[in-house]
Amino acid sequence: MAAPFDWIFTLSAVAFNLLIAGVFLATRAGKMGTVRRIGVWLIALVIPFGIVLYHTITAGGNLYVRVALAVVLAYLLTELLLDFILNYDFRAKWVTHVPYILVEYAAFYALIYVGFTVSEFTGWAVSVTFWMALAALIYYLAGRKKSGKKNKRKKG
């Protein structure tokens, strides 16, 4: 990739990870309006990632980078379709949530892969923000209320 496209990718990839972290933190705080606004900004990343993919294709860039960028765009378009267009609660059922999680983590991996092909600095920046997103996920999951039966031990 050329220098301006490297920076577009770097800023977009870091923003992607930080916005995902923001979604987890806002969800834990119960601020669903904030989650929605962050989601809009996340979906808007289709534009810079699309520009970078278009440049990579027209410049005859690395095939693996093209595929990785396409995976990121597939994730963002899936998010757009399910959350914003269809308003489908796919997270409520494991049958639909597990494939979504797989696509999400494929996008995370793709961003790290492309980051390290751009430069070592970009790779580490994307990696560090990925781990920040994972920390936010752990924080979110640790605060969730458990549903279903409580675990009761018999005395005796």
Q: Are 133 and 19 in contact (CB under 8 A)?
A: no
- pLDDT value at residue 100: 93
pLDDT at site 143: 84
The DSSP letter of residue 156 is: -
What pLDDT was estimated at residue 2?
Answer: 73
pLDDT tens per residue across span 83-102: 999 988 888 899 999 999 99
Which stretches in the chain have pLDDT values below 70?
1, 146-156
Q: Domain segments of the chain: what residues?
A: 3-142
- Taking alpha carbons only, the member of 19, 25, 63 closest to residue 40 is 19
DSSP 8-state assignment for residue 86: S
pLDDT of residue 52: 97
Q: What's the token pair of residue 100?
A: 């979504």
Contacts of 40 (CB under 8 A, 6+ apart): 84
Q: Is the pTM of this model over 0.85?
A: yes
pLDDT for res 149:
47
Contact 79, 39 (CB under 8 A): yes
Q: What is the C-alpha to C-alpha distance for residues 45 and 52, in angstroms, rounded to an integer?
A: 11
Give pLDDT, residue 146. 63
